[in-house]
A and B are shown apart, each in its own frame.
Chain A
Amino acid sequence: MKSVIAEDLVKTYRNGAVRALDHLSLDVEEGTVLSVLGPNGAGKTTCVRILATLLRPDSGRAMVGGIDVIKHPEKVREVIGLSGQYAAVDEILTGWDNLVMFGQLYHLGKKQAIARADELLERFSLTESAKRPIKTYSGGMRRRLDLAASLIVKPKVLFLDEPTTGLDPRGRQEMWSVIEELVKGGVTLLLTTQYLEEADQLADEIAVIDHGKVIARGTSDALKKQVGGERLEIVVEAHNVSKTMEIVASISGNKATLDEGLRMISAPVSTGATALIDTLRSLDTEGIHPLDVGLKRPSLDDVFLSLTGHAAEEKTTEEEVPSGRRKKAKK
Chain B
Amino acid sequence: MSAFKDTMVITQRQLRLLTRVPEVLIFSTIQPVMFVLLFRYVFGGSIDTGQPGGYVQLLMPGIFVQTVAFTLAGTASGLAEDLKKGLIDRFRSLPISQSALVIGRTLGDSLLNIVVLAVMGIAGYIVGWRPSSGVINVAIGFIFLLLFGYALSWVGIYVGLSASDARVVQNVSFIITFPLTFLSNAFAPTTGMPRALQYFAEWNPVSTMVAACRELFGLENQFGATAGSFPSENPLLTSFIYMLIIMAIFIPLSVNKYKRAAD
Given A55-B262, A56-B263, A106-B95, A85:B9 Cβ within 8 A: no
Given known A86-B86, A92-B21, contact A105–B91 (CB-CB < 8 A): yes
User: Size range of the interface on A?
Assistant: 20 to 34
Q: Is the CB of A104 within 8 A of B9?
A: yes
**In this complex, what residue of B is CB-closest to A149?**
B90
The yes or no answer to A214 lying at the interface (CB within 8 A) is no
Q: For chains A and B in complex, what number of residue pairs have CB atoms within 8 angstroms?
A: 70
**B17 interface residue per 8 A CB criterion:** yes
Interface positions, chain A 1-36, Cβ under 8 Å from B, are none
- The answer, yes or no, to whether B13 is at the interface (CB within 8 Å) is yes
Q: Is the CB of B9 within 8 A of A91?
A: no
B89 within 8 A of A: yes
Known pairs A93-B17, A94-B20, A107-B2; A49 contacts B262 (CB<8 A): yes
Complex contact A105–B6 (CB within 8 A): yes
Check if A97 sits within 8 Å of B16, measured CB to CB. Answer: yes
Most buried by A among B2, B12, B93: B93
- Is residue B96 contacting chain A, with contact meaning CB distance below 8 A? yes
Contacts A77-B95, A78-B95; A84 near B89 (Cβ below 8 A): yes
Q: Which residue of B lies closest to A75 (CB)?
A: B95
Task: Kindly state whether residue A276 has any CB partner on chain B within 8 Å.
Answer: no
What's the minimum C-beta distance from B96 to chain A, rounded to whole angstroms?
5
Q: Tell me if B195 is interfacial: C-beta within 8 Å of chain A.
A: no
Most B CB within 10 A of own CB, among A74, A90, A150: A90
Q: Are B17 and A84 in contact (CB under 8 A)?
A: no
Q: Are B5 and A89 in contact (CB under 8 A)?
A: no
A115 at the interface (CB under 8 A from B): no
User: Which residue of B16, B86, B90 contacts A93 across the interface (Cβ within 8 Å)?
Assistant: B16
Complex alpha-carbon distance, A43 and B13, angstroms: 33
Asked, given contacts A52-B93, A53-B93, whether A88 binds B21 with beta carbons under 8 Å apart, the answer is: no
Given A52-B93, A55-B262, A107-B5, CB of A88 within 8 Å of CB of B87 = yes
Chain B residues, Cβ within 8 Å of A80 = 93
Q: Are A88 and B9 in contact (CB under 8 A)?
A: no
Report the interface size for chain B: residues with CB under 8 A from the other chain: 23
Residue of A nearest to B81 (CB): A91
Flag whether A101 is at the interface (Cβ < 8 A). Answer: yes
B-chain residues with CB within 8 Å of residue A104 when the two chains form the complex = 5, 9
Q: Is the CB of B13 within 8 A of A90?
A: yes
Q: Is B130 an interface residue (CB 8 A)?
A: no
CB of A222 within 8 A of chain B? no
CB closest chain-B residue, reference A77: B95
**Given contacts A49-B262, A107-B5, are A84 and B16 in contact (CB under 8 A)?**
no
| Nearest CB of A to B16, in Å | 6
For the complex, give the distance between the alpha carbons of A93 and B93 in Å: 20
Q: Which residues of A have CB within 8 Å of B89?
A: 49, 54, 82, 84, 88
In the assembled complex, which residues on chain B have CB atoms less than 8 Å from the CB atom of A105? 6, 9, 91, 94, 96
Point out the residues of chain A lying under 8 angstroms from B95, CB to CB.
74, 77-78, 106-107
A69 to chain B, nearest CB (A): 12
* Bound CA–CA A61/B232 (angstroms): 58
Is A137 close to B, CB under 8 A?
A: no
B262 touches A88 (CB 8 A): no
Contact A93 B91, beta carbon cutoff 8 Å: no
Question: A298: CB under 8 A from chain B?
Answer: no
Q: Is A124 an interface residue (CB 8 A)?
A: no
Query: Which residue of chain B lies nearest to A100 when distances are taken between CB atoms in the complex?
Result: B9
B92 in the interface (beta carbon within 8 A) = yes
Contact of B93 among A54, A87, A133 (CB under 8 A): A54
Residues of A contacting B262 in the complex (Cβ-Cβ under 8 angstroms): 49, 54-55
Q: Give the most central of B20, B87, B89, B90: most A CB within 10 Å.
A: B90
Given contacts A54-B262, A107-B5, A89 and B93 within 8 Å (CB-CB): no
Give the complex CA separation of A18 and B217 in angstroms: 58
- A91 (CB) vs chain B CBs: closest residue: B85
Are A93 and B94 touching (Cβ within 8 A)?
no
Q: Which residues of the partner chain B approach A176 to less than 8 Å between Cβ atoms?
A: none
* A53 and B91 contacting across the interface, CB-CB below 8 Å: no
Within 8 Å CB of A133, what residues of B?
Answer: 20
B218 to chain A, nearest CB (A): 41
Q: A101 touching B90 by the CB < 8 A rule?
A: no
Q: Which residues of A contact B85 (CB under 8 A)?
A: 86, 88, 91
In the bound complex, CA of A74 to CA of B96 (Å):
8
Complex-state Cα separation, A32 to B180, whole angstroms: 58
Q: Which residue of B lies closest to A49 (CB)?
A: B262
A134 to chain B, nearest CB (A): 10
Contacts of B87 in A (CB 8 A): 88-90
Shortest Cβ-Cβ A-B pairs, 8 listed: A88-B86, A86-B86, A88-B90, A77-B95, A78-B95, A82-B93, A104-B9, A88-B87
A–B pairs, 19, beta carbons within 8 Å = A49-B262, A52-B93, A53-B93, A54-B93, A74-B95, A77-B94, A77-B95, A84-B89, A89-B90, A90-B13, A93-B16, A94-B20, A101-B13, A102-B90, A104-B5, A105-B6, A107-B5, A107-B95, A149-B90
| Given pairs A88-B90, A107-B5, 8 additional interface contacts (CB within 8 A) | A53-B92, A54-B89, A84-B89, A87-B86, A92-B20, A93-B13, A93-B16, A102-B90
The interface of chain B, by Cβ under 8 A from chain A, is: 2, 5-6, 9, 12-13, 16-17, 20-21, 85-87, 89-96, 262-263
Interface residues of A (CB under 8 A from B): 49, 52-56, 74, 77-78, 80, 82, 84-94, 97, 101-102, 104-107, 133, 149-150
